[in-house]
Amino acid sequence: MNPSIQLSQFFPSPEDIPSEHRLETPIHQRAYVVNGQLATWSGDMKRVLSPICVRATDGSVSQVEIGSYPVMGVAESDSILEAAGQAYDSGRGEWPTMPVSKRIECMQEFVRQMAAQRDLVVKLLMWEIGKSLADSRKEFDRTVEYIQATIVALKAQDNENSRFTVVEGTIGQVRRTPLGVVLCMGPYNYPLNETFCTLIPALLMGNTVVLKPPQYGTLLFWPLLEAFRTAFPKGVVNTIYAPGELVVPRMLASGKVNVLALIGSSRVADHLKKQHPKSHRLRAVLGLDAKNAAIVLPDADLDVAVKECVQGALSFNGQRCTALKMLIVHQSIVAEFIRRFTEEVRKLKVGMPWEAGVNITPLPGPHRTAYMTEAITEAVDKGAVVVNANGGEHCATLFYPAVVYPVREGMRLFREEQFGPVVPVMTFDDVKEALDYVMTSDHGQQVSIFGTDPDEIGALVDPLVNQVCRVNINCQCQRGPDVFPFAGRKDSAEGTLSVADALRAFSIRSMVALKETEKSKQLLNAIVRDHSSNFINTGFIL
Ligand code: G3H
């Protein structure tokens, strides 16, 4: 029996928080952006409790209150949606008709202002979602890089289309055009990055946006509100803070949302899509549930497999859509795999987000530690064992990673997406059993295979690529590099979100066509020469 670790000791007393990482005063955000104004909310506010707790002198711990944000209602959501609709103005608005080069200038201005807010946004990422300082910085910087890469991709796309094509006596020019109003909702685990992975391409393609930040990870958008307001024409970016179940179905039911961009659960996505009165008019760009598996073959290099599986399962406490959420290990090596795996888990550093090298940080709230505990208890009741020392111990929002083995059909951990620091392990004798797990799953995002036999890996890849959208060989599942397609099958996604694919997701091809006659050519030449159209032009964006 291992002695219990005192998880409460990892929470600081208020005076132990390093001064450079403190949030000096709570942020009571009453501002929101609507129709080019920074409006002030005077109604109810929602308290924001940090995942980070502080320890009192009597040893008790409590979550730190870091601020509050508005709790708006349907009247506000109606007017915010109206503002986005007016800015789009059925495609006649300043933004959807603006030359691409000018939209890029606006975006560059936004990035300039955003970069100036890096320190505060990073600090809020740490305090609002408990992400480590290193990963919070990475999230911010990766997002800025994503914006720049998207601009490069847009220039390439637009330049490619800056010409006429003549086919069978018809002159055509084809460009990508916006879709309308985009409702943009990101997740709490990557609140900045994943929200911007839809927001930025949506804007660059000429759509107008209603942005609803995630429940955890709201205040970190506050330092960016002024940039949203000033970098883009009025009404192009609008922000809403309201209970999702109250306002989001209503926005969709109005028929005024053209694109639903949601990184969340398939249950919510299905419900929302059904609200639209003309479902064929709604485009959905969705990143949803996932339960990525790692298949560890008998000849796998265990040093590599263990290292990648620990990172894959437990970085940011397993709170990644791409996390490895089921390890399927060959029977012949499972004992050695578990021995090495739990040894590596033991080395993970538990602590507060600002601590150097920290791996395990607090979860968003005690409801998450309660969920992990219930799932483990259920598995243990059905015959599984927590095989690592201290696995599953918890205190307030801190949860020590638990490795649970053997996990079988019928346990919640077998199929449910745990989205936290619990690692289910199961075994297989015949590789068909591992394959069956993936085939019969409701999820279809990615899989990892660990092995060295080219024939066996080759034979596994062929069916797996038809079940998921990325097969990782001897490495963990992950989204990046962001230029690669990020997609999923079944309940895991709708649409593809790479840098270039996202530009396509938020636009549709439209074209002008003329009969190939002298008069047509003269007309086109005059339009191009006199810059009479932003669509019909042959300009090159450098
Ligand atoms: O939560 C889902 C993220 O898109 C995963 O990104 O694989 O880079 O952690 P990541």
Q: Is 478 in the pocket of ligand 1 (CB under 6 A)?
A: yes
> Rounded to whole angstroms, what are the CA distances from 63 to 33, 36, 319?
29, 35, 19
Looking at residue 38, what is its pLDDT?
A: 98
Integer Rg of the chain from CA: 25
- Residue 24: band (very low, low, confident or very high) from pLDDT cuts 50, 70, 90: confident
Average pLDDT over residues 507-533: 98
Q: Is 190 in the pocket of ligand 1 (CB under 6 A)?
A: yes
Give the distance (Å) from ligand 1 centre to CA of residue 471.
Answer: 15
Q: Is 481 in the pocket of ligand 1 (CB under 6 A)?
A: no
- Please identify which residue in the block is written with the tokens 């599953």: 392
Please identify, by atom number, the ligand 1 atom nearest to the C-alpha of residue 197.
Answer: 4
Average pLDDT over residues 83-90: 98
Q: Is 410 in the pocket of ligand 1 (CB under 6 A)?
A: no
Phi, psi for 370 (deg, rounded to 5):
-65, -40
pLDDT of 421 > 60? The answer is yes
In testing the pocket of ligand 1, which one of 140, 198, 288, 321 has its CB within 8 Å of the most ligand atoms?
321
CB under 8 Å to 481, separation ≥6 — which residues?
A: none
Side chain identity at residue 378, one-letter code: E
Q: Is 463 in the pocket of ligand 1 (CB under 6 A)?
A: no
Average predicted confidence (pLDDT) for the chain? 97
Q: Is 136 in the pocket of ligand 1 (CB under 6 A)?
A: no
Contact between residue 227 and residue 117 where contact means Cβ atoms under 8 Å apart: yes
Give the distance (Å) from ligand 1 centre to CA of residue 320.
Answer: 5
- Residue 5: band (very low, low, confident or very high) from pLDDT cuts 50, 70, 90: confident
Q: What are the pLDDT digits (tens) for 151-198?
A: 999 999 999 999 999 999 999 999 999 999 999 999 999 999 999 999
Cβ count near 155 (within 10 Å): 16
Report the residue count for the chain: 542
Q: Is 441 in the pocket of ligand 1 (CB under 6 A)?
A: no
Average pLDDT over residues 99-121: 98
Q: Is 234 in the pocket of ligand 1 (CB under 6 A)?
A: no
Q: Which ranges in the chain are annotated with CATH 3.40.605.10? A: 11-287
Q: Contacts for 461-464 with beta carbons within 8 Å, 24 or more apart?
A: 463/435, 463/439, 464/435, 464/438
Give the distance (Å) from ligand 1 centre to CA of residue 295.
Answer: 20
Q: Is 161 in the pocket of ligand 1 (CB under 6 A)?
A: no
Q: Which ranges in the chain are annotated with CATH 3.40.309.10? A: 292-494
| Domain at 292-494, CATH class | alpha beta
Find, among 347, 350, 361, 478, the residue nearest to 420 by Cα: 361
Contact between residue 71 and residue 243 where contact means Cβ atoms under 8 Å apart: yes
pLDDT of 511 > 70? The answer is yes
Contact between residue 189 and residue 319 where contact means Cβ atoms under 8 Å apart: yes
Contact between residue 306 and residue 344 where contact means Cβ atoms under 8 Å apart: yes
Dihedral sign for Cα 28, 220, 504, 237, please.
positive
Contact between residue 453 and residue 297 where contact means Cβ atoms under 8 Å apart: yes
Looking at residue 30, what is its pLDDT?
A: 98
Side chain identity at residue 517, one-letter code: T
Q: Is 472 in the pocket of ligand 1 (CB under 6 A)?
A: no
Q: What are the pLDDT digits (tens) for 232-263?
A: 999 999 999 999 999 999 999 999 999 999 99
Average pLDDT over residues 108-128: 98
Q: Is 208 in the pocket of ligand 1 (CB under 6 A)?
A: no
Name the percent of the chain lying above pLDDT 70: 99
Rounded to whole angstroms, how far apart are CA atoms 241 and 244? 8
Q: Is 194 in the pocket of ligand 1 (CB under 6 A)?
A: yes
Give the distance (Å) from ligand 1 centre to CA of residue 86.
Answer: 34
45 by Cβ neighbours in 10 Å (0-12 / 13-18 / 19+) ranks as middle
Q: Is 228 in the pocket of ligand 1 (CB under 6 A)?
A: no
Phi, psi for 149 (deg, rounded to 5):
-65, -35
Residue of the nearest CA to atom 7 in ligand 1?
Answer: 478
Please identify, by atom number, the ligand 1 atom nearest to the C-alpha of residue 486.
Answer: 4
Task: State the distance between the two ends of the chain, measured CA to CA, in whole angstroms.
Answer: 66
Rounded to whole angstroms, how far apart are CA atoms 66 and 23? 7
- The DSSP-derived string for 108-135 is HHHHHHHHHTHHHHHHHHHHHH---HHH
Give the distance (Å) from ligand 1 centre to CA of residue 327.
Answer: 18
Cβ count near 190 (within 10 Å): 27
Retrieve residue 443's tokens: 């999820």
Please identify, by atom number, the ligand 1 atom nearest to the C-alpha of residue 187.
Answer: 1
pLDDT of 135 > 80? The answer is yes
Looking at residue 4, what is its pLDDT?
A: 62
Q: Is 476 in the pocket of ligand 1 (CB under 6 A)?
A: no
Q: What are the pLDDT digits (tens) for 423-460?
A: 999 999 999 999 999 999 999 999 999 999 999 999 99
Please identify, by atom number, the ligand 1 atom nearest to the C-alpha of residue 319.
Answer: 1
What topology does CATH give the domain 11-287? Aldehyde Dehydrogenase; Chain A, domain 1 (3.40.605)
Contact between residue 282 and residue 260 where contact means Cβ atoms under 8 Å apart: yes
Give the distance (Å) from ligand 1 centre to CA of residue 322.
Answer: 5
User: For the chain, how many helices (H) and strands (E)?
Assistant: 17, 25
Cβ count near 33 (within 10 Å): 27
Phi, psi for 122 (deg, rounded to 5):
-60, -45
Average pLDDT over residues 102-106: 98
CB under 8 Å to 109, separation ≥6 — which residues?
A: 230, 231
DSSP label of 186? -
Average pLDDT over residues 209-228: 98
pLDDT of 1 > 90? The answer is no
Retrieve residue 41's tokens: 């909310």
Kindly give the pairing relationship between strand 422-428 and strand 324-330. parallel
In testing the pocket of ligand 1, which one of 135, 185, 194 has its CB within 8 Å of the most ligand atoms?
194
Q: Is 480 in the pocket of ligand 1 (CB under 6 A)?
A: yes
Cβ count near 299 (within 10 Å): 15
Helix (H) or strand (E) holding 487: none
pLDDT of 275 > 80? The answer is yes
Looking at residue 3, what is its pLDDT?
A: 52
- Please identify which residue in the block is written with the tokens 């012949």: 332
